[in-house]
Amino acid sequence: MSKRVRCLFGTDGVRDVANKGTMTPEMALRLARAFVFFLTEGGRPRPSLVVGRDTRRSGPMLESALVAGLASAGADVSLLNIMPTPGVSFAIRKLGAAGGAIISASHNPAEYNGIKFLDHQGCKLSDEEESAIEETLGDSLLDDWRPTGASIGSIGGDVSVIGAYVDWLADFIDSLDMPLIADCAHGAASDVFPQLVSRLGAEAVFIGDHPDGLNINEDVGVMHMNHLAEEVLRRQAPVGIAFDGDADRVLFCDGRGRIIDGDIMLWILARWMKSRGELGGGVVATVMSNMALEERLGDVGIPVCRCPVGDRYVLEMMREKAMGLGGEQSGHLILAPWVSTGDGLFTGLAFLRACRELGEDLDSLVDRFGRYPQLLRNVAVSDKKDVLQSDRLREAVSAAEERLGEWGRVFVRASGTEPMVRILVEAKDPDLMAELAESVSAVIRRLSPIKE
């Protein structure tokens, strides 16, 4: 049987400029109906669903269309309004819902928006499940399927789950024993994280916590860590924490203004979870994680498995290998004993707790991790597929890897959204790294020159 191929769904749901292309109210309504049809055909008739969104101006517009589609297909809907993506996942489990939907474009600028669906465990749908929903969009049964009377779904709200989410987070860490600077990216964490800090009685200065519908991720959050670093240095704070627009990612900076990324967090959290007997078989990292992660964890007997970029692939391998921790360099981490999707707020608390219980000095982590230098090149091409299938490219990569030996690696992949091929070269020797990155880039440019 051939594997279904997705066309509409990307690596994180359906995403586009809001009110254009694939992210119009009309598409939101039809996607919602297809999702309910998919659940009903899978044995979950009249499903109960929860819906949350981030702070974008287009959010209420798309929410109205999405909820209308869900109810018209017979689903009972609970609206959470503005809620972090992991908060929606929490709500699904808390309320025993059949699934949910999040209206967010995560770290993208305000003009974008997106829709991603979650299953009854609060997990993102698999590629196969999203492909099945795409197929349903073109099914004539979807147009004919029109519940009436009492079979039409209901629409209500349940903001109490926000308080339950904050309580659950606060109970996990009990206390925050250091002042911090918190960057909420003018996104979904802007209300929840201050509530959490207040609940813990902690001292914090907030930035990026005044969303106006148009400023989400604008020069703030995990995509613009220099802003947080400057504030930490200016205020002489011991640590800074930053989220993205929907708060499923988190990054830190130390008291010297240096970024503590997902790889360093995986290094700390893996050792902490192992000490608690909760790590399982090891750690899942993506192909983009620094080789220093494998070295540092190898020193303490913790294996690392690699998977393609994307948190859904991280979770799939975690389940396959029975590993309790996985994540990406970008700060999207999953701690399986507690959460079923990336939760920036929970990960941030867990990291701070792990540092405290392991006796780690935050200001020394970057130095002690000792990352390999990395160089990422983006090469514009006319045909990504032809480039990646080329024998000449494979030969160039093999030659580069031979020169690097065990002290580096070369990774080449197509961009998921742009006509580009991305080359990542990692090496202990920065000069050799730059030379090899240019040689592989040159081969790609010759293979697929941009047509004027």
Sole residue written with tokens 């608390």: 349
* Residues 44, 56: Cα–Cα separation, whole Å: 31
So what's the pLDDT on residue 417?
A: 66
* Residues 199, 402: Cα–Cα separation, whole Å: 55
The end-to-end CA distance of the chain, in Å, is: 41
So what's the pLDDT on residue 312?
A: 85
In a domain, 7, yes or no: no
DSSP letter assigned to residue 372 = P
In a domain, 287, yes or no: yes
Question: Is the distance from CB of 315 to CB of 335 less than 8 angstroms?
Answer: no
Closest by Cα among 329, 253, 345, 338 to 294: 329
Q: How many C-beta neighbours within 10 Å does residue 298 have?
A: 11
Same domain? For 191 and 70 the reply is no
3-state DSSP call for residue 334? strand
In a domain, 116, yes or no: yes
Same domain? For 54 and 81 the reply is yes
Same domain? For 71 and 200 the reply is no
The edge-to-edge listing of strands for the beta sheet with 48-53 is 14-17, 112-118, 99-103, 48-53, 76-82, 155-157
* Known catalytic membership, residue 175: no
So what's the pLDDT on residue 310?
A: 84
Supply the CATH number for residue 195's domain.
3.40.120.10
Residue 85: exposure state from Cβ atoms within 10 A (0-12, 13-18, ≥19): buried
- Structural domain count of the chain: 4
Residue 435: exposure state from Cβ atoms within 10 A (0-12, 13-18, ≥19): middle
* Residues 68, 208: Cα–Cα separation, whole Å: 32
Query: Among the three residues 158, 188, 207, which one is the final residue of a domain in this structure?
Result: 158
pTM of the model as a whole: 0.90
- Host domain of residue 442: 374-447
Same domain? For 267 and 365 the reply is yes
Same domain? For 144 and 28 the reply is yes
* Residues 287, 388: Cα–Cα separation, whole Å: 16
Below-70 pLDDT ranges, the chain: 1-6, 416-417, 451-452
* Residues 318, 285: Cα–Cα separation, whole Å: 10
Query: Among the three residues 133, 158, 183, which one is the final residue of a domain in this structure?
Result: 158
Sole residue written with tokens 């907030």: 206
So what's the pLDDT on residue 1?
A: 38
Closest by Cα among 259, 247, 122, 251 to 193: 247
DSSP letter string over 83-122? --HHHHHHHHHHHT-SEEEEE--TTS-TTEEEEEEE-TTS
Query: Among the three residues 102, 135, 158, which one is the final residue of a domain in this structure?
Result: 158
Supply the CATH number for residue 390's domain.
3.30.310.50
In a domain, 4, yes or no: no
What are phi and psi for residue 250, nearest 5 degrees?
-145, 140
In a domain, 452, yes or no: no
In a domain, 419, yes or no: yes
Pick the catalytic residue: 78, 106, 190, 340? 106
Kindly state the tokens that stand for 181: 């600077």
Same domain? For 183 and 101 the reply is no
Question: Is the distance from CB of 64 to CB of 221 less than 8 angstroms?
Answer: no
Cα 58 to Cα 20, 147, 243, 395: the distances in Å are 11, 28, 20, 47
In a domain, 8, yes or no: no
Same domain? For 233 and 284 the reply is no
Same domain? For 421 and 441 the reply is yes
Same domain? For 150 and 60 the reply is yes
In a domain, 1, yes or no: no
Same domain? For 250 and 268 the reply is no
So what's the pLDDT on residue 2?
A: 46
Same domain? For 363 and 379 the reply is no
Same domain? For 129 and 84 the reply is yes
